[in-house]
Structure 1
Amino acid sequence: MRFQHHKTGTIARLAMLLMALLAFDARAIDKVIFDRPASTADHRREYANALLRQVMERTVPGFGPYTIAYADTHMERPRLFEALKEGRLVNVTAYPADARWLKELRAVPVPVDMGLQSWRIALIDKRQQERMRRLRLPGELKQLRAGVGIAWVTAASLRDNGFAVVTGGSYDGLFEMLMAGRFDYMPRGINEIFQEYEERKPAAPQLAVEDSILLHDQIPSLFFVSPQEARLQRRIAAGMESLLRDGTLERMVLQHHRGSLQRARICKRRRIDLPGKDMPAAMLARRELWLDPFAPRHGICPAETRAR
């Protein structure tokens, strides 16, 4: 009897210890270190910042409290990749996906902007606009030089599809290269181009948003988490799926970017699709992950004016 009582007491204590450990894990403070923009003129992280806070708030009931801090310095893509693998200087970012990032980091397989950044229009010298309108697509556009960051996924996508590419080493330097005539056009996501244009127009009066061509490369921007942060990846994935299910993610995308979609006049542009080779088939197959800006329910493009 004493043995049975001792055994029962031991099991009870172990059960209480396990419950305490689970409670501790559920209330652990998740510490996010997000990457820093290139400069005060770089607004590319503003939407992702707002979304990340929504994700972390949405998951407080299941995962507990959190903090969000920012890396001490900006890191270009190659250095950021190495820092994410280590997880000390930065442990979360939102960036366009490529095969290596998908393999070596912890990806959250829900595009942060539902694929909006995959719809691209270009910055140009305004003196080139008439020439761009007269191009026979896609052949003559492939002969012009696209300007992109040396490590951007866009560079590989354009090259894979036969486009001429000129690369630059820094984000801010690319705008100077465009104005100096080092390349002919600079493809940018619809979600980012107009803020970039307004920010730089005063110092570059010849800068313009090209008005006739739309590129679609279907490269998703995802939250990437350090391999050292399995729990944090699970939390962000749970939050993104929750925001997707109840429509919050789509509402956020449209709330932040509807004006840019309308201003881009995508319905009247000539469209070029750029097939990608590295994206997971399962992600591409989930139609609910992708915003179709031409869908009539969004009110961006009346059916009769959809781009062809």
Structure 2
Amino acid sequence: MLKPIARLCIRAALAAALLAAGQAAATDIVIFDQPVSKADRRREYANALLNAVLQRTVPEFGPYEIRHAAVHMERPRLFEALKDGKLVNLTAYPATANWMRELKPVPIPIDMGLQSWRIFLIDAKTQPALRAAHTLGQLARLRAGSGSAWATLESLKEAHLSVVTGSSYNGLFQMLMAGRFDYLPRGVNEIFAEYDTHKQDYPALAVEETLLLHDQIPSLFFVAPGETRLHRRITAGMEALLKDGSLERLVLDYHRNDLRRAKLCTRKRFELPNRQLDPALFGRKELWLNPFEARHGFCPALLPR
């Protein structure tokens, strides 16, 4: 007959085994944020990447389920909801100092930095004035548009550019076409989808042809502070996709046509400061895709003849 101490040890071991089995079988619930509308295609790539990340980590972390928040939330409301972690526990957004500090960032740019290469939506009649801007000082004579809570706002201001802000995403397109500002900087990964979506409503809408801003603001996955396991899972998946080249392939699969349409190599390029973020975030060179590298084929002048 087993002694009482031995029975207690066996019970404890069985309880631990059952708990471990329950944890292994648990499904990770991801609640991702909603786009502005069904016409807003900015979340297509992030959703595809999220699926790839979670699928890659099934052997280590087990099953998962992706849900979406009930409603779209503008950036300030989304930030508060993420801190609470009930309505949404994951998003992908350009990084700011307070998001880096108060949420759990995954420090690998989801698009390898493509969104930080910015070209402009404009009213077509503004093209001559922008074509004549050869310095940041000359560009500062014109007015940029920005969301009032966008990460790029501080970089525009630090470069001493004139900025007019709006409080809603859709409202910025109306403000642009009403002449409230002269150009709306957008990531090369998002501008053509936005142009194609809004062109019918705004026939004079155009993509500016000559200028390029680089604001060095990475777009990252941000996890709710209480979701330590989910943060470990997303980080592990991103590292795995980065290591075997899957991340770069996915970025290019989704954005190759955008990069071709952007014709970055023909544009005058301005570097904008980013003093909001820890420079250590930029230390890993393998995290960043350089669209000017000859191997990508977007700059014909750089290719061997």
Q: TM-score range by the shorter chain?
A: over 0.9
* Corresponding residue for residue 115 of structure 2: 117
Q: What's the offset of the Cα at 1:50?
A: 0.7
Could you report, residue by residue, the CA deviation over 1:69-126 in whole angstroms, capped at 9, with x for unpaired residues?
1111110000000000111111110000001000100111111101100000000111
* Corresponding residue for residue 77 of structure 1: 75
What SS does structure 1 have at the residue aligned with 2:163?
Answer: strand
Q: What's the offset of the Cα at 1:261?
A: 0.5
1:277 counterpart letter in structure 2: R
Q: Select the residue among 229, 232, 237 that pairs with 2:230.
A: 232
TM-score, normalised to structure 2, is: 0.95
**Distance in 2, Cα, partners of 1:24 & 1:160:** 51
Q: What's the offset of the Cα at 1:251?
A: 0.2
**Distance in 2, Cα, partners of 1:133 & 1:45:** 31
**Distance in 2, Cα, partners of 1:304 & 1:238:** 35
**Distance in 2, Cα, partners of 1:188 & 1:33:** 26
What SS does structure 2 have at the residue aligned with 1:93?
Answer: strand
What SS does structure 2 have at the residue aligned with 1:277?
Answer: coil
**Distance in 1, Cα, partners of 2:278 & 2:59:** 31
Alignment of 1:85-164 (within 5 A): 85-164=83-162
1:210 counterpart letter in structure 2: E
Q: Select the residue among 195, 217, 220 that pairs with 1:219.
A: 217
2:219 counterpart letter in structure 1: S
1:30 counterpart letter in structure 2: D
1:239 counterpart letter in structure 2: G
1:242 counterpart letter in structure 2: A
**Distance in 1, Cα, partners of 2:299 & 2:277:** 27
**Distance in 1, Cα, partners of 2:20 & 2:117:** 44
Percent identity of the aligned residues? 59
**Distance in 1, Cα, partners of 2:288 & 2:21:** 36
Q: Select the residue among 44, 47, 50 that pairs with 1:49.
A: 47
RMSD over equivalenced CA pairs, Å = 1.6
1:90 counterpart letter in structure 2: V
**Distance in 2, Cα, partners of 1:302 & 1:15:** 65
Residues 53 and 237 in structure 2, CA contact (< 8 A), matched pair in contact too: yes
1:228 counterpart letter in structure 2: G
* Corresponding residue for residue 272 of structure 1: 270
**Distance in 1, Cα, partners of 2:7 & 2:249:** 53
Tell me the matched-pair count: 303
Q: What's the offset of the Cα at 1:160?
A: 1.5
Residues 41 and 196 in structure 1, CA contact (< 8 A), matched pair in contact too: no
TM-score, normalised to structure 1, is: 0.94
What SS does structure 1 have at the residue aligned with 2:200?
Answer: helix
Could you report, residue by residue, the CA deviation over 1:282-305 in whole angstroms, capped at 9, with x for unpaired residues?
320000111111111111114548
Q: What's the offset of the Cα at 1:278?
A: 2.1
Which structure 2 residue ranges, 5 or more long, are not aligned? Answer: none
* Corresponding residue for residue 199 of structure 1: 197
**Distance in 1, Cα, partners of 2:95 & 2:24:** 30
What SS does structure 1 have at the residue aligned with 2:140?
Answer: helix
Q: What's the offset of the Cα at 1:175?
A: 0.4
Could you report, residue by residue, the CA deviation over 1:187-223 in whole angstroms, capped at 9, with x for unpaired residues?
0000000010011111111110001001001101101
Q: List structure 1 runs of 4+ shifted beyond 6 angstroms.
A: none
1:294 paired with 2:292, answer yes
Could you report, residue by residue, the CA deviation over 1:170-190 in whole angstroms, capped at 9, with x for unpaired residues?
000100100000000000000
